[in-house]
Amino acid sequence: MKVSLTRLLAFAGRHWLRLGLVACALVLLSQKQVNFNVRLGHPDYEAVPAATPAWPAEPTEEGEPPTYLTEDHPAPAARSEGFFARFNFFGGGAADLYEELTRQPEQEVADFVTRFRHVAEAEQEKFGIPASITLATGLLYSKGGRAAAARDFNNYFGLACAGDWQGPTARVAGECVRRYETAWTSFRDFSLLLSEGRFSRLREFGPRDYRRWAAGMQELGFNANDDLARQLQQTIDRYQLFRFD
């Protein structure tokens, strides 16, 4: 026993750095799993009705939207770079999608909502996805319909060709994006994406619970946007998209 203990201590002395790194990795993985479970599956959460500021009211000065976590598990700070910040498919560079949207003419945003609200409501009826989430995501990634992928290829949700996509494709800024024959097929593909695979967990939330849908989409990696929850919630609140849920 004494010899074994001596060998163990000698081994630990030689490899202390590797052992420390392994221990840190295990701690981080366990914390992330707990955080994910709390964020997406807390049974005691109840949706809070959204406020109804006069459109287009500015976001409240409190700034950060709620994260729907317990106080013991605060939301992680958003990282500044994501997939679209690197590749700029939709013409915004590293700029915030919400800030880009607010620079668009208000009448064009209103026209987008008027044009697609009934499509979003029909998708909510069929798939249970809040119409506000569908409209807000479309507004952000299409810049109210002005982005090249939306204007030229009916891609309103920033969906790339990656994964098992077998449909038509196009090139925007040198990158492969999904191409659709009509705007409606783009909306339907978005609904199917959020109803299958890893995103299917979002169906646990109610069709009026847009805050948790937004947080869940970010947590599950929609378009690798690490600030998606805030941007979706601010878009929904600014333009009162919760009216259509």
* 103: alpha, beta or left? (left if phi > 0; alpha if psi -120 to 50): alpha
The whole-number pLDDT of residue 81 equals: 37
* Fold that domain 42-244 belongs to in CATH: Lysozyme (1.10.530)
Task: List, as one string, the DSSP characters of 23-62.
Answer: HHHHHHHHHHHHHHHHHHH-TT----PPP-PPTTPPPPTT
CA distance 36 to 30: 10
Contact 118, 150 (CB under 8 A): no
Q: Which of 203, 181, 194 has its CA nearest to residue 223? A: 194
Q: What is the DSSP string of 133-183?
A: HHHHHHHHHHTTTTSHHHHHH---S--BS-TT--S-EEEETTEEEE--SSH
Residue 116 has a pLDDT of 98
CA dihedral angle for residue 160, residue 166, residue 167, residue 173, rounded to 10 degrees: 30
pLDDT of residue 162: 80
Q: For residue 10, what pLDDT is reported?
A: 61
What pLDDT is attached to residue 4?
Answer: 57
> What tokens does 227 get?
């600030």
Q: Which residues in the chain land under pLDDT 50?
A: 3, 33-94
Distance of CA 29 to the CA centre of its chain: 21
Q: Which of 159, 180, 151 is nearest to 225 (CA)?
A: 159
**pLDDT for 190:** 97
Q: What is the model's pLDDT at position 8?
A: 57
